[in-house]
A and B are shown apart, each in its own frame.
Chain A
Amino acid sequence: MNAPSDPDEVVLEFEAVSKWYGPVIGLNQVSLKLQGGITGLVGSNGAGKSTLLRLATGQLKPSIGRVLVRGEDAWTWRAKALVGYCPDNDAFYEDMTGRDFVRAMARLCGFGAADANHRTEEVLARVTMTDRADRQLRGYSKGMRQRIKLAQALLNDPRLLVLDEPLSGIDPIGRQEMLELFRGLAAEGKCLLVSSHELEELEKLTDHVAILARGRIAALGTVSRIRDLLDDQPLSIRIDADDPRRLATMLLSRPDIVGVDFPTPQTLIVRARNPRRFFEDFNELATDETLRITRLEPLDDSTHAILGYLLGGSGKT
């Protein structure tokens, strides 16, 4: 039985972990500590997300360093008993029913026959698949497959739940249900590590993200905290004004402005190095000078933009 959840307990810990695939490095000196709650994992293709998830679930052994789940080496079966994994691929035994598949996975978790049946019904109910679980897997929609995968990940009541693209292929109503479910699991003190390309969905779920870039953790924390750390990075701001060239001339005299651009005659894109100081200065400027500003919009007030900064412009996901 898993011990009661302590929200302050470190559930997943990477200690200077590196992983090589032959001469190719998949993860480079990653150190990470996760407690209860939801953490989003984002990064471009090839950034090392899958490697990190597989290390966390004990499917890979680190080349250097240690991966610990509640102090247990993630490679051991005791650690795996604390982890639930919902992979991104959905290669099932297609002629099995959903119920049979989840039951088989329950037996694999080490449950006896009666417990496996009982637990199977519980997790199927939790992902709202009870009434559809007797159909063969080959007849399932993408969303139903995602639910079945989630169900098998919940079987052992895991302390750490690792979800690889869990919202992929689910309709909007289903998404809302799944997001509610994830929030409910996090509220129980579980640690959820959610990898997704759906950054907007991820931001609805949590503002605590880990950003991976080229095998390294580029940033970890809340989106706003990461933004604070980005003060030295240029921030793009769109300004619509009646005389953008005059405004640009005034702005360029400020030390934090590193560049301006004119995508349209009425629009100015400013790149500022210290966003907070820039906005303070801009307030003074806008009130002192006789300028008519019709629009002021940071172009990167989202994880997308943070990615762009951190990955040197290659942060498209």
Chain B
Amino acid sequence: MPPELLHYRALGGVTGGPWRGVKAIARTGVLLLARRKFFWILYAFSLMIFLFYFFGQYLWVFLASHVQDALIRTGGVFGRLISPEALIKSLRDTMHLDGSAETFGDFIWTEGYIAVVILAFAGSVLVGNDFQHNSLPFYLSKPISRRHYIFGKCLAIAMLINCLTTIPAIGLFVEYGFIETWDYYYDNFGLFLGILAYGGAITISMSLLLLTTATWLRRTVPLVMVWTAIFVMARLVQRWLVDGIGLSPRWRLIDFWNDLYLFGMWCFGKDHRWLRPTNQEQPEYWEAAAAIVTVCLLCLLYLRRRVRAVEIIS
């Protein structure tokens, strides 16, 4: 067919720079993941956790403002009257639905586990397949560099993590201010910054960790196994080492998720002595931060080597 009949014309527009390509990589990655059912199933779990906190906070404030002096009779053979204030205090201390540092810390901690599972399964879709199926030439022949490719993939992972952790946590912060008083925002602005810092730490470290493990392992099953080792086995091992055979609490640093939690509590300004569970000795905050930085640096070093090698394997 003659070209003139094919409605093709020479390009008359102006293309953006490589950073626009970064956005495109991230967008493509997220859309690829959004096509998978497992992602939506896990996302539904994450949403349930958010809704629990969302309505839990509302319920707690509602109870605290409406139940004043009346006594509540508990059921059962040994039923007895208890003070509602004691009940509310118990609920607050157990579930931390009071817009405090623990609320956001616990929320991000819990949501983070969903994020970890999603990322373990998403690693091969987002990154591994590019290496496995040798589709990097499509990316690297476009007006971007390897650095932009890594940024784009990290951005996709960051979008996922923040949709599950930081953004809902900010939503809870905003909600609590609405249902209590506006002063909450002014009095607890540090918590807002803490959410951003904790979310930022999770975003950066998990993005680098996923990119590193996905470029290393490429396929889903090995990736899930390694992530299980990092986030489940390491936790069991540190408990056995510290609580079981009485080694130094510094051994808890091998639990990367715990390191992130400690760092988050540091960002929230929480006193080290009141960390949950209170009967566990924990390493110092700065030690946890140093462990996170070390992991990030190791990941960057590996990625630097790996991406330089892309030209050989691609």
B143 at the A interface (CB under 8 A): yes
What are 6 A-B residue pairs whose CB atoms fall within 8 Å in the complex? A59-B137, A77-B145, A107-B24, A107-B28, A108-B144, A128-B1
Contact of B21 among A87, A92, A110, A157 (CB under 8 A): A110
Say whether B7 contacts A111, CB under 8 Å. no
Interface string of A122-164 (1 = CB under 8 A from B): 1101101000000000000000000000001010110000000
Q: Write the chain A residue with the least CB distance to B136.
A: A59
Which of A41-49, A78-86, A246-254, A257-265 participates in binding chain B? A78-86
CA distance A1 to B312 in the complex (A): 32
Given the known interface contacts A111-B13, A181-B3, the answer about A105 and B138 at a Cβ–Cβ threshold of 8 Å is yes
Please name all residues of chain B whose beta carbon is closer than 8 Å to the beta carbon of A154 when the two chains form the complex: 8
Q: What residues of B have a CB within 8 angstroms of the CB of A177 in the complex?
A: 1
CA distance A122 to B129 in the complex (A): 29
Note all chain B residues with C-beta closer than 8 A to A197.
none
Q: A169 at interface (Cβ–Cβ under 8 A)? A: no
Chain A's nearest CB lies how many Å from the CB of B159?
15
Contact residues of A between 40 and 90, Cβ < 8 Å to B:
54, 57-61, 75, 77-78, 80-81, 83, 85, 87, 89
Please report the C-alpha to C-alpha distance between residue A242 and residue B15 in the assembled complex, in whole angstroms.
Answer: 70
Q: Does B11 contact A (CB under 8 A)?
A: yes
Q: Once bound together, how far apart are the Cα atoms of A81 and B144, in whole Å? A: 9
A61 to B35 CA separation, bound complex (whole angstroms): 36
Are the CB atoms of A95 and B35 closer together than 8 Å? yes
B18 contacts the other chain (CB 8 A): yes
Q: Cα distance A57–B139 when bound, in Å?
A: 11
Known: A110-B21, A123-B8. A59 touches B141 (CB 8 A): yes
Do B7 and A125 touch across chains, with their CB atoms under 8 A apart? yes
Contact of A109 among B2, B3, B21, B23 (CB under 8 A): B21
Interface residues of B (CB under 8 A from A): 1-3, 6-18, 20-21, 23-25, 27-28, 32, 35, 129, 133-135, 137-145, 148, 311-312, 314
Max chain B C-beta neighbours (<10 A), residue from A75, A110, A112, A122: A110
- In the assembled complex, the Cα of A157 lies from the Cα of B190 at a distance in Å of 51
Expressed in whole angstroms, the Cα–Cα distance for A139 and B6 within the complex equals 24
Residue of A nearest to B152 (CB): A108
| Given known contacts A77-B18, A107-B21, A110-B21, A125 and B6 CB-to-CB distance under 8 angstroms | yes
- Contact A122–B24 (Cβ < 8 Å): no
- Judge whether A115 is part of the interface by a CB distance below 8 angstroms: yes
Q: Which residues in A have their C-beta under 8 angstroms from that of B134?
A: 89, 91
Q: Known contacts being A21-B312, A87-B141, is A110 close to B20, with CB within 8 Å?
A: yes
A105 and B8: CB pair below 8 A? no
B11: chain A residues within 8 A (beta carbon): 1-2, 119, 156-157
Which residues of the other chain, A, contact B7 by a CB distance below 8 angstroms?
121-122, 125-126
State whether the Cβ of A221 lies closer than 8 Å to any Cβ in chain B: no
Contacts of A121 in B (CB 8 A): 7
**B13 contact set on A, CB distance < 8 A:** 1, 111, 115, 119
A123 CA to B10 CA, complexed, in Å:
10
Taken together as a complex, chains A and B put the C-alpha atoms of A96 and B32 apart, in Å, by: 8
- Find out whether the CB atom of A108 lies under 8 angstroms from the CB atom of B21: yes
> A272 CA to B245 CA in the complex, in Å?
88
Q: Is the CB of A152 within 8 A of B138?
A: yes
* Contact code string A181-214 (vs B, CB < 8 Å = 1, else 0): 1001000100000000000000000000000000
Q: Would A59 and B143 count as touching, CB distance under 8 A?
A: no
Q: How far is the CA of A2 from the CA of B9 in the complex (A)?
A: 12
Q: Is there contact, CB below 8 Å, between B8 and A80? A: no
- A89 with B137, Cβ < 8 A, contacts A78-B143, A111-B15 known: yes
Q: Whose C-beta in chain B lies nearest to the C-beta of A75? A: B145
A109 to B137, CA, bound (A): 13
Partner of B15, one of A54, A81, A184: A81
Q: Mark A94-115, 1 if CB is under 8 A from B, else 0.
A: 0110000000110111111001
Q: Please give, as numbers and ranges, the residues of chain A lying within 8 Å of B3 by CB-CB distance.
A: 126, 180-181, 184
Q: Bound state CA distance, A8 and B135, in angstroms?
A: 34
Asked if A59 and B140 make an inter-chain contact with CB atoms under 8 angstroms apart, the answer reads yes
The answer on a CB contact under 8 Å between B24 and A104 is yes
Given contacts A77-B18, A123-B8, contact A109 B311 (CB under 8 A): no
**B141 and A110 form a contact (CB under 8 A):** no
**Which residue of the partner chain, among B6, B17, B145, contacts A110 with CB atoms under 8 Å?**
B17
Q: Which of A92, A93, A110 contacts B143 (CB 8 A)?
A: A110
Report yes or no: B143 in contact with A80, Cβ–Cβ below 8 A.
yes
Tell me if A105 and B142 are in contact (CB < 8 A): yes
Given contact pairs A107-B27, A157-B11, A83 touches B311 in the complex (Cβ within 8 A): no
B residues within 8 A CB of A126? 3, 6-8
Among the interface residues A58, A92, A107, which one has the most CB atoms of the partner chain B within 10 A? Answer: A107
- Give chain B residues whose Cβ lies under 8 Å from the Cβ of A91: 133-135, 138
Chain B residue contacts of A75, Cβ below 8 A? 145
* Contact status A109-B17, CB under 8 Å: no
19 extra interface residue pairs, beta carbon distance < 8 Å, beyond A85-B141, A108-B144, A154-B8: A57-B137, A58-B141, A77-B148, A78-B143, A80-B142, A81-B143, A93-B135, A104-B27, A107-B21, A107-B24, A107-B28, A108-B24, A109-B15, A109-B143, A126-B6, A152-B138, A156-B15, A157-B11, A177-B1
